[in-house]
């Protein structure tokens, strides 16, 4: 939302690179479909006038900080290279930090994003702000990502008349949400039978008791492709889809969560 409007280039000549397929899919949903979005491996041997590389892990790990992958990404750009990183403090001796220093030293622009996320408060440098936020709010979860999301949802539901008949439940068991399992295969039946299997948030109508929306909060460290959690996410996605239960996934490396949730609820009203 901030970078693309500043680039005076045909969308077909822009490429966006992300480390994981799950990030690629999320980006594809929010940009012009003429912009090519892929992992760095799929960009090997191909070039674009402009390459935007998104490396927005909560903490930049070994995979995203791989020197060879970064070299491939940079070399795909014919005219301009843009690097998007998390606002969290990172390893000062990592390849990403070296690349940022190189960009700044050679006259490139290093700028802080004006787009905010509720999950910014998860970062260490915002510890004081997070503690202030929870000073007068009871924590409903062991995870601050869920606590922040819970109070955001509450604010949204209380802020608009059309949502005031709605309420939210935290960590609602999937086997209570889906009573009839006849549409599921054996693996899916076994999955939802576990008491720990739940949706992070269930928004429902207090009047009709109907489910309005389910929300999942995904941290990239645990939910990116190849993790066990990613496989469970896909199974949960399929189960909810089979029963026509709306699902919204929020990434802890995303932004504008209030607008995203409000828009989705408005669509479902």
The predicted model gives 189-202 an average pLDDT of: 94
Report the range out of 47-56, 105-114, 202-211 with the highest average pLDDT.
202-211
Quickly state the pLDDT bin for 253 (edges 50, 70, 90).
Answer: confident
Mean residue pLDDT of the chain comes to 86
Per-residue pLDDT of 52-70, as tens digits, reads 988 765 544 555 567 888 8
Q: Which of 68, 87, 115 delimits the end of a domain?
A: 115
DSSP string, 139-164: --SSSHHHHHHHHHHHHHHHH-GGGT
In the chain, DSSP finds a helix count (H) and a strand count (E) of: 11, 8
Q: Do residues 154 and 168 make contact, with C-beta atoms less than 8 angstroms apart?
A: yes
**Is pLDDT above 90 for 166?**
yes
**Is pLDDT above 90 for 224?**
no
Per-residue pLDDT of 6-42, as tens digits, reads 788 999 999 999 877 777 887 887 788 899 999 888 8
For residues 249 and 131, membership in a common domain is answered with yes
Per-residue pLDDT of 77-97, as tens digits, reads 999 998 887 655 555 667 777
For residues 97 and 182, membership in a common domain is answered with no
Q: How far apart are CA 150 and CA 155, in angstroms?
A: 9
| Residue 214, token pair as written in the block | 């389910």
Q: How far apart are CA 74 and CA 56, in angstroms?
A: 17
The predicted model gives 105-114 an average pLDDT of: 75
Total domain count, the chain: 2
Q: Which of 92, 115, 138 delimits the end of a domain?
A: 115
Kindly report the CATH number assigned to the domain that includes residue 191.
Answer: 3.40.1350
- Tell how far CA 260 is from the center of its chain: 11
For residues 61 and 100, membership in a common domain is answered with yes
For residues 140 and 242, membership in a common domain is answered with yes
Going by C-beta distance under 8 Å and a sequence separation of 6 or more, which residues neighbour residue 144? 121, 122, 130, 134
**Is pLDDT above 60 for 124?**
yes
The predicted model gives 130-155 an average pLDDT of: 95
For residues 185 and 258, membership in a common domain is answered with yes
Residue 225 belongs to domain spanning: 126-268
**Is pLDDT above 50 for 258?**
yes
Q: Which residues does residue 77 pair with via DSSP β-bridges, in sequence order?
A: 48
Q: C-alpha angle with apex 254: 250 to 260, nearest 5 degrees?
A: 55
**Is pLDDT above 50 for 223?**
no
pTM of the model: 0.71
């Amino acid at each position: 939302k901030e970078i693309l409007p500043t680039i005076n280039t045909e969308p077909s000549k822009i490429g966006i690179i992300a480390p994981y397929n799950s990030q690629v899919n999320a980006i594809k949903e929010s940009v012009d479909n003429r912009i090519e979005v892929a992992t760095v491996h799929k960009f090997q041997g191909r070039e674009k006038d402009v390459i935007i590389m998104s490396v927005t892990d909560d903490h930049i790990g070994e995979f995203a900080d791989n020197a060879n992958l970064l070299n491939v990404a940079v070399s795909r750009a014919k005219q301009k290279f843009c690097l998007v990183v998390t606002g969290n403090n990172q390893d000062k001796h990592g390849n990403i930090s070296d690349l940022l220093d190189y960009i700044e030293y050679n006259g490139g622009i290093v700028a802080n994003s004006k787009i905010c996320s509720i999950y910014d408060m998860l970062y260490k440098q915002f510890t004081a702000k997070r503690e202030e936020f929870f000073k007068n709010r009871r924590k409903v979860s062991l995870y601050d990502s869920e606590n922040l999301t819970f109070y955001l949802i509450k604010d949204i539901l209380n802020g608009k008349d059309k949502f005031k008949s709605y309420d939210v439940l935290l960590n609602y068991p999937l086997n209570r949400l889906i009573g009839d399992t006849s549409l599921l295969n054996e693996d899916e039946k076994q999955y939802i039978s576990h008491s720990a299997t739940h949706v992070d948030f269930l928004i429902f109508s207090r009047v009709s008791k109907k489910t309005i929306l389910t929300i999942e909060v995904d941290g990239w460290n645990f939910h990116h492709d190849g993790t066990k959690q990613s496989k469970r996410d896909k199974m949960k996605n399929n189960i909810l889809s089979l029963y026509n239960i709306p699902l919204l996934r929020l990434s802890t490396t995303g932004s504008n969560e209030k607008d995203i949730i409000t828009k989705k609820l408005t669509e479902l009203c």
